[in-house]
Amino acid sequence: MNIQVFEDKNELYSTVAEYYINYINQKPNAILGLATGTTPIPLYKNLIQAYKNGRVSFKDITTFNLDEYIGLPQTHKESYYSFMRHQLFNHIDINLNNTHIPSGILEPNEAIKVYQSQLSKHQIDVQLLGIGSNGHIGFNEPGTSFESTTQITQLAESTIKDNSRMFDSIEEVPTKSITMGIKDIMMANQIIVIATGLNKADAVLKMIEGPVNESLPASILQKHSNVLVFLDKEAASKLTK
């Protein structure tokens, strides 16, 4: 793992954005794995600005998102379908036909089949990840098999609590998701992890220094040969090395 720690969050995000801009300019038809949640928002803002400044184009880019809540209509403001449109896709020149998000509204087995089949026809170049405070990646919660492929998962109590900040009440947070599996994530050529804030420090410590164990899903990333980790100093504060 290549780990970089930043004093300044703006610098962290502009560094990651520059990485993407260079990558896309070198490979305009790159296949990008994308994430939702709070973590990638400043990255997406930087990329939108770079697009508006004529520094990058997404017209030949293909994307695959990690996950989606089960049961939220696509029009719900917290669906990841909505999130991606509002935080990124509506503001850049991407062809929406080339964007893929697992379906939270199809019959679940059908949704799994459709997504796995789309994934199997593509090789993700760069997969972006945030990390849950409990060490989840995608919505693969602690205890998920490292061999998992696209699946329906029950969200952990801690995840429901973490994500309730986006909803009017905790009762409104969906309890299930459809997510790329851990094996799917590990298939990407390269993985970029961003973590900021003190509430990620324990998970970051275990991801980087802990044993590789299904109780901390992100620890599997130690076994991937090309992982770039971008941390602010709070998220890095418990690292010992």
Output the smallest distance, CB 54 to ligand F6R, in A.
29
CB of 78 to ligand F6R, least distance (A): 11
140 is catalytic: no
Task: Name the active-site residue from 67, 68, 125, 232.
Answer: 67
The answer to whether the beta carbons of residues 104 and 66 sit under 8 Å apart is no
Stretch that binds ligand F6R, among 18-26, 36-44, 86-94, 217-225 (CB under 6 A): 36-44
Alpha-carbon gap, residue 108 to 103, rounded angstroms? 8
Question: The sheet that has 67-69: what strands, in order across it?
Answer: 67-69, 176-179, 151-154
CB 190 within 8 A of CB 229: no
| Rounded Cα gap, residues 228 and 241, in angstroms | 16
Read off the tokens for 147: 């061999």
Which positions from 59 through 88 interact with ligand F6R, judged by CB under 6 A? Answer: 66-67
| Angle between helix 41-52 and helix 9-26 axes, rounded to 10 deg | 50
Task: State yes or no: is 232 an active-site residue.
Answer: no
- Write down the catalytic residue from 65, 68, 100, 134: 134
- Lay out the site mask for ligand F6R across 162-201 (x = CB under 6 A, - = otherwise): ----------------------------------------
Q: Between residues 61 and 195, which has the closer beta carbon with respect to ligand F6R?
A: 195
**Is position 134 annotated as part of the catalytic site?**
yes
- Residues 108-167 touching ligand F6R, rule: CB under 6 A, are 130-132, 136-139
The amino acid at residue 148 is S
Give me the least distance between CB of 23 and ligand F6R, in Å please: 20
Cβ atoms of 196 and 235 within 8 Å: the answer is: yes
State the nearest-atom distance from the C-beta of 91 to ligand F6R, in Å. 19
Nearest distance from C-beta of residue 53 to ligand F6R, angstroms: 26
- Residue 239 class from Cβ within 10 Å (0-12 exposed, 13-18 middle, 19+ buried)? middle
Q: What's phi and psi for 105, nearest 5 deg?
A: -120, -20
- Residue with smallest beta-carbon separation from ligand F6R: 130
Interface with ligand F6R by CB under 6 A: which residues?
A: 35-39, 66-67, 130-132, 136-139
